[in-house]
Amino acid sequence: MERIIGYCGLVCSDCSAYIATQANDRAALEEVAARWREKYNAPNMTVESVVCDGCLGGKKVRHCGNWFECQIRACGMARDVANCGHCDDYACDKLQAFFQIVPDARTVLDAVRSSL
């Protein structure tokens, strides 16, 4: 499978929700929802909230609807970049705030940036 990197640096193609969605595997989506309900203390998380086609695709996982990621995605789309590692303003304040939550995303985008 081709590696898909979202604007924010999350690797969509490595995500269990993305993989289960692409395989149309309802049982795997149920497992993801159950795991994330516990991990993120989100008792109302459902299969529908973990269905995801990746940042660059159609339907997004509900947690990708938070302020940081939505703003990051909107900015990346407006700047017409493959992901934020390709942006002239890397790493902006939006990303700095997101990296506080998901530091691995910085590692991914730093690698993208260094390969340009």
Query: Is 111 part of any domain?
Result: no
pTM equals 0.82
Q: Per-residue pLDDT tens for 42-88?
A: 898 899 888 888 887 766 666 665 544 578 988 999 999 999 999 99
Q: Evaluate whether 37 touches 28 at the Cβ level (below 8 Å).
A: no
Query: Is 113 part of any domain?
Result: no
Query: Is 58 part of any domain?
Result: yes
Query: Is 3 part of any domain?
Result: no
**Residue 6 structure tokens:** 């979202």
**Residue 84 structure tokens:** 């934020």
Query: 38: Cβ–Cβ under 8 A, 6 or more apart, which residues?
Result: none
Query: Is 6 part of any domain?
Result: no
The structural domain count of the chain equals 1
Query: Is 94 part of any domain?
Result: yes
pLDDT value at 7 more than 80: yes
Q: What mean pLDDT, rounded, does the chain reach? A: 88
Query: Is 4 part of any domain?
Result: no
Residue showing tokens 């929700």:
17
Domain encompassing residue 81: 12-106
